[in-house]
């Protein structure tokens, strides 16, 4: 068995961002238009008027202050309320491959590697731009990587599930050097016209290089225990899929975008996550005091505060459990990797931490790492 390690990491951040204030102005303009268009039905008591959103609510309920997006104009257009992304021809790189490649190149540069050194590419994300061929195989080609590549989707947990899959293959020797890429175009599947969730997501891409620790070219993070768990729930769901036409459901339906029962997710996922992290640590003989850092999934600040307290047995300070959701919002599978990438280089050899992601499925994955 070989010892796997994370030897490189990278984040692609879109150039455009939307503050809560900007988002709320657009949403409220959309709500006013909708109410005007349904004035008679509202007057007759047949439908409820659409309520305004509030930037104060968003910041206090989630901790999110802004989000990055690939197309701001489309999202903020009250007559549209979703991004406008130019379709790519079959001979052009797909959008997910393009942004994933940017993050991948940063990760490879940090690892001191090139695409040719890679023999496994996993594109792990909560939605894929097309059914096939796999985005991962496109990235493999664009990078000049060898071996094989495949897509996987475990929603917000995709990154840690992808890391476990790659780490297991490094352990057994079936691959030598892997790239796990998480391009998340969440703006494409967020319902920007629903005030309960319109503030939740942003766009980003992340990547990590995983290889044998004894082949690392520089400072790296040895991967100790990896663990994944799932338990079926309908509380986070997206019903879009390839049977839409067969179901005669090509209309603009709410359930073709992200839907969640946020309160239930909160209550049900939190205990699952803290117990999961603690059991992964216990099996490795790690105590809470051994942890220098928690890089958690970035969905909600209160949620992360709760998990941090449960895992450490005390209130973590901001440096121990860094949040990036105030800047990026929830970026699905990429969130914990952004937190890791932006807050890991200061750790000293021997320092230990946990990368953990969780979400739809339900699903939760954790990766115990040690700086070397």
Q: Which residues bind ligand COA (CB under 6 A)?
A: 53-54, 57-58, 61-62, 156, 195-196, 236, 260, 262-263, 265-266, 299-300, 330, 359-360
**For residue 46, how many other CB atoms are within 10 A of its CB?**
9
DSSP structural state of residue 175: -
Query: Radius of gyration (Cα) for the chain, nearest Å?
Result: 21
User: Considering only CA atoms, which of 9, 369, 7 is closest in space to residue 222?
Assistant: 369
Least distance (Å) from ligand COA to the CB of residue 150? 23
Closest to ligand COA by CB, 286 or 328: 328
- At 144, list the tokens: 């000049």
Least distance (Å) from ligand COA to the CB of residue 299? 3
Closest to ligand COA by CB, 238 or 249: 238
Least distance (Å) from ligand COA to the CB of residue 33? 17
| Positions marked catalytic | 156
Dihedral sign, CA of 26, 30, 31, 35?
Answer: positive
User: How many whole angstroms separate alpha carbon 249 and alpha carbon 251?
Assistant: 6
- Do 268 and 235 meet the contact criterion of CB atoms below 8 Å apart? yes
Contacts of 213 (CB under 8 A, 6+ apart): 2, 3, 4, 5, 220, 222, 372
Distances (CA, A) of 25 to 18, 55, 66, 121: 11, 9, 14, 41
Closest to ligand COA by CB, 195 or 227: 195
Contacts of 58 (CB under 8 A, 6+ apart): 20, 23, 24, 64, 199
- At 55, list the tokens: 């930037």
Closest to ligand COA by CB, 42 or 219: 42
Least distance (Å) from ligand COA to the CB of residue 301? 9
Closest residue by beta carbon to ligand COA: 262
Least distance (Å) from ligand COA to the CB of residue 138? 25
Closest to ligand COA by CB, 106 or 260: 260
């Amino acid at each position: 068995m070989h010892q796997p390690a994370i030897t490189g990491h990278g984040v692609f951040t879109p150039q455009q961002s939307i503050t809560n204030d900007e988002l709320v102005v657009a949403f409220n303009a959309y709500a006013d238009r909708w109410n005007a268009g349904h004035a008679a039905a509202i007057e007759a008591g047949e439908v409820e008027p659409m309520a305004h959103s509030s930037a104060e609510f968003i910041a206090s309920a989630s901790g999110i202050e802004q989000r990055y997006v690939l197309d701001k104009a489309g999202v903020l257009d009250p007559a549209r309320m979703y991004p406008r992304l130019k379709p790519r021809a079959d001979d052009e790189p797909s959008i997910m491959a393009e942004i994933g490649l940017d993050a991948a190149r940063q990760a490879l540069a940090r690892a001191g590697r090139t695409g040719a050194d890679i023999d496994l590419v996993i594109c792990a994300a909560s939605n894929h731009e097309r059914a096939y061929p796999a985005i991962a195989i496109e990235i493999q080609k664009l990078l000049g990587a060898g071996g094989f590549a495949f897509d996987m989707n475990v929603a917000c947990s995709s990154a840690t599930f992808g890391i476990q899959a790659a780490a297991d293959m490094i352990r057994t020797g079936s691959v030598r050097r892997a790239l796990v890429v998480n391009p998340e175009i969440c703006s494409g599947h967020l319902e920007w016209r629903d005030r309960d969730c319109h503030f939740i997501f942003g766009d980003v891409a992340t990547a990590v290089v995983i290889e044998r620790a004894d082949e690392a070219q520089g400072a790296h993070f040895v991967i100790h225990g990896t663990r994944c768990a799932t338990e079926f729930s309908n509380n986070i769901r997206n019903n879009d899929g390839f049977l839409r036409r067969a179901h005669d459901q090509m209309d603009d339906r709410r359930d073709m975008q992200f839907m969640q029962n946020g309160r239930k997710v909160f209550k049900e996922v939190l205990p699952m996550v803290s117990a999961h992290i603690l059991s992964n640590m216990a099996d490795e003989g790690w105590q809470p005091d051994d942890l220098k850092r928690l890089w958690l999934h970035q969905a909600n600040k209160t949620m992360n505060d709760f998990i941090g307290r449960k895992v450490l047995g005390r209130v973590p300070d901001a440096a121990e459990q860094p949040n990036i959701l105030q800047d990026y919002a929830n970026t699905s599978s990429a969130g914990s990797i952004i937190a890791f990438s932006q807050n890991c280089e200061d750790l000293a050899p021997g320092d230990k931490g946990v990368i953990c992601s969780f979400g739809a499925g339900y699903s939760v994955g954790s990766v115990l790492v040690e700086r070397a």
